[in-house]
Amino acid sequence: MSNRRFQTQSPQNPPISTLDEAEVARFDRLAETWWDEFGPMRTLHKFNPVRIEYVRDHILRHFQRSGDTLTPLSGLDLLDIGCGGGLLCEPLARLGAHVTGIDPAPKNIGVARLHAAQSGLPIAYEEQTVEALVAEGRQFDIVMAMEVVEHVADVDFFIKSCCQAVKPGGLLFLATLNRTLKAFALAIVGAEYVLGWLPRGTHQWDKFVTPEELEKALSYGGFVPLDETGVVYHPLRDQWRVSRDMDVNYMLVASTKS
């Protein structure tokens, strides 16, 4: 386990923020491309259906909701950390959730607000960090940090803050990249340099997080995984699917320890 990324913080001197300023600046530069399905975010657009289905199905099961209505998430407060342009916020708002999206990149928030207004969706977007939100004492039924963990400066503190943002009995969803040679070959060399699916420099392999490391960080926050799944790309069908293979992309859902 990398001491640089998982260094234990002194309770007397906790980090103020887990922001990596270089990462924030890079995504800020890409902000206007969020809703371009053929631009730099096209991989996320392809990835989005499998993420939404995973989140929706686990929410319905956990909160004993029926999927037979148009708005099965009605009455649930949901937080999307690192919301970008709102690619996850908008579909979940359409399912009835009261959605708050936070992102430290101001241009991302501007793009997200504009698109939500054009779509007629009452999503609350804030230029905010999860650490600051927790310091205000705010909590949500569902918290998501999808494709964010690999971009923060302190994974342990970030995950602890995510856990603190979840109401008792609520759910925390995480999606990230495993630190394997296969992930280096596919997610960085393949996706960024060979296929050009992502801008070069989007990911740093040493910031990828193994499932074991993520589970340990969750344990520090008093949470345990309820489910873990890999996500793989099928080139012949040009779509992403859940899989037992967690060597590259994976998602999990966690809740408080019983």
The answer as to whether 249 is a domain residue is yes
The answer as to whether 11 is a domain residue is no
The answer as to whether 91 is a domain residue is yes
pLDDT in tens, 146-163: 999 988 989 999 999 999
Q: If we measure between CA atoms, which residue out of 35, 32, 37 comes closest to residue 238?
A: 37
pLDDT in tens, 87-146: 999 999 999 999 999 999 888 999 999 999 999 999 999 999 999 999 999 999 999 999
- Residue 184 maps to which CATH number? 3.40.50.150
pLDDT in tens, 45-62: 888 999 999 999 999 999
Biggest distance spanned by C-alpha atoms of the chain: 53
Say how many domains are in the chain: 1
The Cα 54–Cα 41 span in angstroms is 20
Does 205 score more than 80 pLDDT?
Answer: no
* 101, containing H or E segment: strand 98-103
Q: Is 141 within 8 Å of 65 (Cβ atoms)?
A: no
Going by pLDDT thresholds of 50, 70 and 90, the confidence category of residue 36 is confident
pLDDT in tens, 10-35: 344 555 566 556 655 555 565 678 88
The answer as to whether 238 is a domain residue is yes
Helix axes 106-119, 21-29, angle to 10 degrees: 40
Average pLDDT (185-198) is 56
The answer as to whether 30 is a domain residue is yes
Mean pLDDT, the chain, whole residue set: 85
The answer as to whether 9 is a domain residue is no
Does 252 score more than 80 pLDDT?
Answer: yes
Q: Which residues pair with 254 in a beta bridge?
A: 172, 225
Going by pLDDT thresholds of 50, 70 and 90, the confidence category of residue 203 is low
* Domain encompassing residue 84: 21-256
Ramachandran region, residue 82 (left: φ > 0; alpha: ψ -120 to 50; beta: rest): left
Stated pTM of the model: 0.84
The answer as to whether 143 is a domain residue is yes
The answer as to whether 69 is a domain residue is yes
Ramachandran region, residue 222 (left: φ > 0; alpha: ψ -120 to 50; beta: rest): left
CA angle, 145 then 86 then 55, to 5°: 45
